[in-house]
Amino acid sequence: MQKNMMPKLKLKKIFSLFLVFSLLKIGSSLAANGSKNITDFNQRIVSTNLCIDSLVIALVGRKGVVAVSSVAGDSRYSLIAKEVAGIKKVNFNAEQVYSLKPTIVLASNFSSPKTRHAMSKLGLRVILVDYARSIDEIAKNLVHLGYLLNASGKAKDLIETLRNIEFSADKSQGLMAIQYSENRYVNGQNSLIRDVFQRSGFGEKNSLIQAQGGRFLPSEFVIKAKPDLLLLDENKNQQIHFQNPNYHSSLYKTLGSTMVTHIKQKYWSCGTPKIIDLIQQLLQHHAQILEAKKIAQ
Amino acid sequence: MSHAIITSDISVQIQGKTILHPTSISIKKGENVGIIGRNGAGKSTFMKAMLGLIAHSGGSNLSSKTLSDRVRLASWVPQDRELVWDIKVETLLQFTIEKVKETENFKAIKKFIDTKDALSITGTLKLANARIKSLSGGELTSVLIARALVQQTSIIFLDEPLASLDPIQKRTILEVLQEMSQSGKTIISSLHDIELGKEYFSKYIAMREGSVICEGTPLQILKKKQFDKIFVEKNSVC
Amino acid sequence: MHKFLRQKKLLSKKFVAYSIVSLLALFSFLSLRIGYVNIDFFSAIMNGISGQKTTDTIILFELRLPRTLMCLIVGAGLGLAGAALQGYLRNPLAEPSIVGISSSAALGAVLCIGLGINTISFFYTPIFALSFAMVACLILIKLTQNTVSRHSVILIGVGISALSGSLTTLILSLSDNPFAINEIVFWMLGSVTDVSYFHVLLAGPMVLVGSVFLLRCASDLNLLSLGEETASSTGVNIGRLRLNILFGTALIVGGTTSVTGIVGFVGLVTPHMVRPFVNYEPKKTLIWTPPIAALLILVSDIAIRILPTTGEIKLGVLTALLGTPFFLYLIGQQRD
């Protein structure tokens, strides 16, 4: 009997020891988290998503930024290629990120849950930042990151500028704009580009394009929808006034009633303070289209 | 009687290995020849080389001719009798007739064998409208021989025409071959049924390891002492 | 009596030919008429003829007409290539996409685009696709020369497909294109959406020349049904036949794949549909398959546009959906 009791006792002992240790560990990490938020100036930031990279750079510059996502340095897709020159580039990969000993890892809510889980297991502090689908959400992300990165003041300034754009556009004109990607994708209602369109005076009245989520659409829809402004992707090696050969040629034969503009995807794909530039450009287009309509009448 | 086939030092090498050693033989017109020997003795290779179907050195009076000339001299009945498409018997023969009609000296054919003639010679006229895949092994062989007949050639090569047939079917085929040779065609077949064939063939050519070791009438060959030995032992002579 | 029968046969042959042509015309019309959006069809035609440009004429003449033409080209071409391959390999399971020629062509196109060679001239993409299709064809012909098993042809195809498929994915992944997955889907599952006259002019002549090569094989394929040796003994020049099949298939598959991606199984299914009506004769199968295959693709492409889906169904998905069960059925029928 006694012999049998022995292992059970041992197990209990080990278990309780383990319990105590893990409680201690949780407690200490909680304490650490609390202090880091405000007081730690030597933070090592690793940002793993282009859109978050842009927000981080806008908030803290290069200070404390150990690494950014690998696309951030590629000027074809990134608006901050110059700003992040010389900073290490990483992929969203637990091993790579862990080796940089970050105090904070910023990841998108679209990032792989598997990798996120692995990082948490390694004891990394992984913070999720939602992909911004509107100007308001950009502001929200700025507040969030400003608090985490000890740059709340800068965040406030940036939000101020965002809010202060004068929306001079006459929304009552009901002009319609469509952004049509090279791969024939059209963004849904709940997307950043739609919000940008709205803020620069463009609405969408056409039922052909009005899908809740994003959709791949054949060119037929786009032509039939007769938008006032058609925003197309700019080809890598292309000047704005040339046609992008990756689109069907018929899109360029839209009878003059549609203004066709090429723009690089990087100008609208990420919710960052730089979105102001695009809104301003679209405001100009809006005015031009109205002008042209007046002349036509 | 003149010769239908004359080979001079015909030989076949495949990947540096000699499958057929230089062989010179002659076969008279109207003969019904059986090529005998164990598996791998080179029977098929010898026939294909004579007909010019495979690459070879030396040659025969057939293989030296151009492809289009050969069409009207000798035809071929393959051992692999599997047909993928379930076509009609008559159609199968028609394919060959269409091709023959493309040949230059087509109009010079005195006795043109049409589909019906060929099928009745081989005793398969009633199968004219049957589909290939519905035929038995013996019927299919007969049809393929009829196919060779409509090619209007005086020489017909058959690669193991008796393979996988039952004894009755074998006799039927052997009779057809004999009749054809009696009507003036030269028939050359490879076979294993040496005993069964002795009444039908006018000549046997025995082969071993890529060489012809002896030729003669079936009775001459079968009379040889230790007949089995000559197929097996390296240096035994005929 | 004989004469009467023959006349009747001739009549019915004519009748069949006419009905196929009218079906092609009908479905071509429907393919123009039925699209993603509603257009005023007849006024669009009138406006188009009078040279007036409206939204609807642009949709009809710039988007739908080239698409319909491309369906005809892709269908007829791939159907013919399938029938020719089945006839040449004497294998009812053979087909450009199954034996790996299509995926090899796609690899060629992707490699050309990946290396940026297509920016020099657009003609390089089909040339690359053609060359790669030819390499796959050569491998297939070389490896099948000595094999007799029917399934080994399919295994060779599995090998070629797997290799070129993985290389395609590798190239697209290395090209540091964030939309690589999209591209992979495009090449693996073909589509005729938004093709233009440029594409028609690119693929059309290649398919036409390829068809000439393949149709020249028609009579030889009849004789080949007896096997290569027998065919050769009846005067078929096997070497020349092989070259015709090689160039014909490569031109057709290279030309269509470089424009539409892989559209599989149409070359498999159609010859089997045709065969019972032409007494299983290889030559007639070869001749009658292209119009039926074109019809099949036209109908599939119309179906894609009227099926109520939120996303876009690719043509390659639909043909594979229809073709794969048939392929499996055929494998079950084979005895080796």
B76:C281 CB<8 A: no
Here the tokens at position C48 are 């188009």
The residue ranking higher by pLDDT, C10 or C254, is C254
Q: Tell me, what DSSP letter sits at residue B200?
A: T
Task: Compute the distance between CA of residue B78 and CA of residue C65 in angstroms, rounded to an integer.
Answer: 51
Helical axes C124-144 vs C101-114, angle rounded to 10°: 150
A215:C311 CB<8 A: yes
CA-based nearest distance B76→chain C, Å: 6
| Assigned CATH for B3-232 | 3.40.50.300
A224:C39 CB<8 A: yes
Point out the residue among B71, B87, B98 whose CB comes nearest to the CB of C219.
B98
CA closest to C234 among chain B residues: B71
Confidence label for C86 from pLDDT (cuts 50, 70 and 90): very high
Per-residue pLDDT of chain A (297 residues; tens, 9 = 90+): 344 444 444 555 555 555 555 555 544 444 444 444 444 567 899 999 999 999 999 999 988 999 999 889 988 889 999 999 999 999 888 888 998 999 999 999 888 888 898 898 889 999 999 999 899 999 999 999 999 999 999 999 999 888 877 666 667 778 888 899 888 888 888 889 988 888 888 876 656 666 556 778 888 888 888 889 999 988 766 555 578 888 888 888 876 788 888 888 888 889 888 898 899 899 899 989 988 888 887
Domain(s) of CATH 3.40.50.1980: residues in chain A: 45-163, 171-296
3-state secondary structure of A255: coil
User: By the 8 A CB rule, do A54 and A129 touch?
Assistant: no
3-state secondary structure of B128: coil
User: By the 8 A CB rule, do C253 and C74 touch?
Assistant: no
Cα angle B25, B28, B29; round to 5: 140
The secondary structure of C276-325 as a DSSP string is GGGTT-HHHHHHHHHHHHHHHHHHHHHHHHHS--SSPPPHHHHHHHHHHH
Here the tokens at position B114 are 């049409």
Cα–Cα nearest to B131, from B166, B90, B159, B102? B90
The answer to whether C36 faces chain A, any CB pair under 8 Å, is: yes
Confidence label for C177 from pLDDT (cuts 50, 70 and 90): low
The answer to whether B74 faces chain C, any CB pair under 8 Å, is: yes
Here the tokens at position B133 are 């895949």
C280:B87 CB<8 A: yes
Task: Compute the distance between CA of residue A114 and CA of residue A111 in angstroms, rounded to an integer.
Answer: 9
What percentage of chain C exceeds 70 in pLDDT? 93
Phi, psi of B60 (to 5 degrees): -135, 170
In a 10 Å sphere around its CB, with 0-12 CB exposed, 13-18 middle and 19+ buried, how is residue B97 labelled? Answer: middle
How much is the pLDDT for A33? 46
B15: left (phi over 0), alpha (psi -120 to 50) or beta: left
The secondary structure of A2-35 as a DSSP string is HHHHHHHHHHHHHHHHHHHHHHHHHHHHHHHHHH
Encode pLDDT of C267-323 as tens digits: 999 999 999 999 999 999 999 999 999 999 999 999 998 887 766 788 999 999 989
C323: left (phi over 0), alpha (psi -120 to 50) or beta: alpha
CA-based nearest distance C182→chain B, Å: 41
| pLDDT exceeds cutoff 50 at B33 | yes
Quote the CATH superfamily of domain C21-333.
Answer: ABC transporter involved in vitamin B12 uptake, BtuC (1.10.3470.10)
- List Cβ<8 Å contacts ≥24 apart for C235-238: C235/B67, C235/B68, C235/B70, C235/B71, C235/B99, C235/B102, C235/B103, C236/B99, C237/B67
- Which element (helix H / strand E) includes B100? helix B89-101
Confidence label for C331 from pLDDT (cuts 50, 70 and 90): confident
- Residue type for position A172: S
| pLDDT exceeds cutoff 90 at B229 | no
| pLDDT exceeds cutoff 50 at C27 | yes
| Assigned CATH for A45-163 | 3.40.50.1980
Structural fold of domain A171-296: Rossmann fold (3.40.50)
Phi, psi of C300 (to 5 degrees): -60, -40
Encode pLDDT of C122-147 as tens digits: 889 899 999 999 999 999 988 887 66
Confidence label for B70 from pLDDT (cuts 50, 70 and 90): confident
Q: Do chain C and B touch: 3 or more Cβ pairs under 8 angstroms?
A: yes
Q: Do chain A and B touch: 3 or more Cβ pairs under 8 angstroms?
A: no
Q: Tell me, what DSSP letter sits at residue B224?
A: S
CA-based nearest distance C225→chain B, Å: 6
Domain residue ranges in chain B:
3-232
The answer to whether C92 faces chain B, any CB pair under 8 Å, is: yes
Q: How many Cβ atoms from other residues are within 10 Å of residue A96's Cβ?
A: 16
CA closest to B91 among chain C residues: C281
Interface confidence, given as ipTM, is: 0.90
How much is the pLDDT for A209? 65
In a mutational test of the A interface, the residue from C36, C172, C306 whose CB has the highest number of chain A CBs within 10 Å is C36
User: By the 8 A CB rule, do C286 and C312 touch?
Assistant: no
Using a CB-CB distance cutoff of 8 angstroms, which residues of chain A are in contact with residue C62?
248-250, 253
Cα–Cα nearest to A146, from A39, A275, A37, A40? A37
Cα–Cα nearest to C257, from C103, C99, C84, C79? C103
CA closest to C181 among chain A residues: A183
Point out the residue among C54, C179, C312 whose CB comes nearest to the CB of A218.
C312
3-state secondary structure of A121: helix
Helical axes C282-306 vs C65-89, angle rounded to 10°: 140
- Find the DSSP H helices in chain C: 2-33, 41-49, 55-57, 65-89, 101-114, 124-144, 150-174, 180-188, 197-215, 218-224, 228-233, 238-260, 266-274, 282-306, 315-333
Here the tokens at position B104 are 């230059």
What percentage of chain B exceeds 70 in pLDDT? 93
List B residues 96-135 in contact with C (Cβ-Cβ < 8 A): 96, 98-100, 102-103, 131
User: By the 8 A CB rule, do A151 and A159 touch?
Assistant: no
How much is the pLDDT for C26? 97
Lowest mean pLDDT among A135-139, C30-34, C149-153, C326-330: C149-153
How much is the pLDDT for C194? 87
Using a CB-CB distance cutoff of 8 angstroms, which residues of chain C are in contact with residue B14?
none
How much is the pLDDT for A6? 46
Q: Kindly tell me the number of DSSP H helices and DSSP E strands found in chain A.
A: 9, 11
Domain residue ranges in chain C:
21-333
